[in-house]
Chains A and B, each alone.
Chain A
């Protein structure tokens, strides 16, 4: 065998083995979408990736079964709000931790970093009573407050701090000469220079909020207030058994837009997760 043939063989083996490994990663998505188009009976018939009869009505029923459009909107606006608030607060605090000298900064860092080790399940019980006391039960308040101020917010603050620390100081000093206040320097100089970090925080925060499940489960009770993950889990019949064709149609509606955005911006999105590094 010549070197060229050997290389070609290696390449074929590489593609083949990775393609086989990729099956359980891709297959669920394909099957989800295809089953979303099947009737309740066909779903359990002969397995076929292409539905025999395309039932578009599943996607109409999804909206009739529960206020799915409203729930979709809830998820969107909550994730948007959480993202904007996290961006502002984490970049403010991150900037101070990176650039400004003040007594207690080291201690504050240590204090905040300890939060990264604490699972949400640990603080959710007292938070339940806190939110009840604040009158925020069955509202979207907890779904905004807890991600913004909890471990996720702290993680975002650190990500921003790390980025600010590595930025050159010269521009900021020039800004100060021009009489800009600290707030002005942060807004007009530091933030425009940290677009990659801001984008990373925005991406992981949006997905974090979008995919949140425990908090909605604990704090929400009325259908109209549900977010998508909670709504998806809720496509069941009177016996609590899943209505698979509706559930999978709804799940497709929730997942496919995210996947499309992911496919378009995959490099940026994957880098954002690599930057955060601490999620999991």
Chain B
């Protein structure tokens, strides 16, 4: 290879002196990445910078005026608008409800389905099926099933003598319903990530522990769980961030209601921007959302580094 390169380099140098092989490669590389990079700058980085500027403007689409107001939108959100803290509270409840439930269920399923035996493929396919289904379809069907009167879930509960609530019309039940249906929708993804991690653990480790007389639980607690720690952290990051981004589910099942009981951050941003046209305020909310996700990511990456040492 070296010889061929040298010959080519010499040939190049003879014709265009500055175009060394190295430079030529660099130019080609930039050409390769340029479509992605240019699109990224226009449709992602540009908007990301723009949203910072918008967030510092008073801009109502209906009046059409855009005035620079500094941090007023942030102050408005953090100190004046009572909705904001309510929304943050809802988002935190959503995350606290969803993340542990999702991860515990994912791990349980993964442990039951990580060893090859008859039926494993079938059950994996079943638990993963909602992941490939559109969130819209999933939310529509569950909204149908969870109706107060005549809803299928309540009809089935009635068969065993339970009088089910009007799930999506009572704030606390609505939140619980949205969380649980979201867990069922997404748990398959974490399940396969855990299965991959479990299968990467050498069997000898667990067998050695068993030979020392450890019980099943002890093997899990002392061997499997510590070895899964990196995967657990990654899954925690992804799932927590995902929980702050949840939008379509809320939009279709509850519309943020009842009594704003399921009004979470992503939905609030959408509502302020595209239903009330408070562009400045909505942009400030979007920035806050960005910062929350960023902080979560950094905290969990730091935890991961600490865990590694």
**Which A residues are closer than 8 A to B by beta carbons?**
14-15, 17-18, 21-22, 24-26, 28-29, 31-32, 35, 43-44, 46-47, 89-90, 92-93, 95-97, 100-103, 105, 108, 112, 115, 117-130, 145-146, 148-151, 153-154, 157, 173, 176-177, 182, 186, 207, 210-211, 213-214, 217-218, 228-229, 232-233, 242, 244, 247-248, 251, 254-255, 258-259, 262-263, 266-267, 269-270, 273-274, 277-280
Contact = CB atoms under 8 A, between A and B. Distances in A.
A111 to B, nearest CB: 8
A103 B33 CA distance: 13
Nearest to B105: A21
Nearest to A100: B29
Contacts of A26: 126, 129
A232 B40 contact: no
Contacts of B248: 213-214, 229
Give the size range of B's interface with the partner: 35 or more
A268 to B, nearest CB: 12
A259 B125 CA distance: 10
B295 to A, nearest CB: 10
B17 interface: no
Given A182-B28, A254-B134, A280-B238, A121 B36 contact: no
Among all A-B residue pairs, the 8 with the closest Cβ atoms: A149-B39, A96-B32, A126-B47, A126-B50, A102-B26, A44-B150, A100-B29, A229-B136
Main secondary structure, interface of A, reads: helix
Given A31-B152, A248-B141, A233 B252 contact: yes
Given A25-B127, A125-B51, A126-B51, A153 B36 contact: yes
A280 B293 CA distance: 13
Interface stretch (B76-84, B205-213, B278-286): B278-286
Contact of A251 (B51, B125, B140): B140
9 contacts: A93-B35, A96-B28, A102-B25, A108-B33, A119-B245, A122-B289, A124-B273, A129-B50, A280-B239
